[in-house]
Amino acid sequence: MATTRTFLVLFSLACSLTLCICDDESNYGGGEGNLFPGFYRSSCPKAEEIVRSVVAQAVAKEARMAASLMRLHFHDCFVQGCDGSLLLDSSGSIVTEKGSNPNSNSARGFDVVDQIKAALENECPGTVSCADLLTLAARDSSVLTGGPSWMVPLGRRDSRSASLSGSNNNIPAPNNTFNTILSRFNNQGLDLTDLVALSGSHTIGFSRCTSFRQRLYNQSGNGSPDITLEQSYATNLRQRCPPSGGDQNLSELDINSAGKFDNSYFKNLIENMGLLNSDQVLFSSNEESSELVKTYAEDQEEFFEQFAESMIKMGNLSPLTGSSDEIRKNCRKINS
């Protein structure tokens, strides 16, 4: 118990060491619409502390949860903007995004979101949006695993709709080509630098066999493996991921430090040891991207700074603000 308390105290202190010291609307220049870090200063001053505490407990219980929560934020923002639409269950006219190809049997952490929302509703009913708590949880997941912190612009509201087609069509897939992945980032207003930096989140977490099997056995449809995959690494992966069956078997996205947010991911790409095709093409398919991979592999601080900047940029995608839509009481369903 003492160890857990010490962990939470140290985490709280770490979160105060942010890359941006501004916290009000007048000083903040990187927001979108009415978003700014001090949005809940008066209406729910303990909001960030509450999110931080629940996420810390969840990650202490299961380290993998940090990557899962961060992924929820990515997949939410790429569909209708960062509006919490991913969190909605199917109901009435709403068809959940949870059933899309990128999310089905893969997206997880919704129970932790429920816990955060319940704690926020207990403290400040009807005040903090699901979209904002998910954005905060992503930042806290970075910090908890040793990554950067940043001031999160807040003030998003929650969508009353979801888009299954948007989830299927907007989120990059593990076997996409470099050009397809970049195009999907560009469609969101994100550039090549954002693509490479945000892909660095794969320094933590795991991926299912079904997401990288093609690289091991049939990369180009001719029954041959991906020649860019380092051979001994490929041999190891085949032991966990057979040609058929074992779809849910997990492998580390970063073979060297799957539980630590660092720049090891980029070092792996240079060694042709990226797990997903969408990872490895960052180094093998584009010169500008390859140079960024080398830069981040050599300079973790530069990666951290750019990752924080790109996370803020992504978090500002098409937010609902003002009186738009609603603040959900339950992240899984719209208010009645």
Q: Report d(CA 60, CA 248) in Å as an integer.
A: 23
- Summarize the annotated binding site for Ca(2+) as residue ranges: 76, 79, 81, 83, 85, 97, 203, 254, 262
- Among residues 73, 75, 184, 267, the one annotated as catalytic is 75
Our answer to whether residue 73 is catalytic in this structure is no
- Summarize the annotated binding site as residue ranges: 76, 79, 81, 83, 85, 97, 172, 202-203, 254, 262
Burial class (CB within 10 angstroms; exposed 0-12, middle 13-18, buried 19+) of 249 = middle
At 136, the amino acid letter reads L
Could you tell me if 280 and 229 are in contact, meaning their C-beta atoms sit under 8 angstroms apart?
A: yes
At 160, the amino acid letter reads R
- Token pair 């969840």 in the structure block, residue: 58
Q: Report d(CA 324, CA 326) in Å as an integer.
A: 6
The string of DSSP letters for 19-76 reads S----STTT--S--TT-BTTTTTTT-TTHHHHHHHHHHHHHHH-TTHHHHHHHHHHHH
Q: What backbone torsions phi and psi does residue 186 show, to the nearest 5 degrees?
A: -60, -35
- Summarize the annotated binding site for heme b as residue ranges: 202
**Ramachandran region of residue 109, left (φ > 0), alpha (ψ -120 to 50) or beta?**
left
Which sequence positions are flagged as catalytic?
75
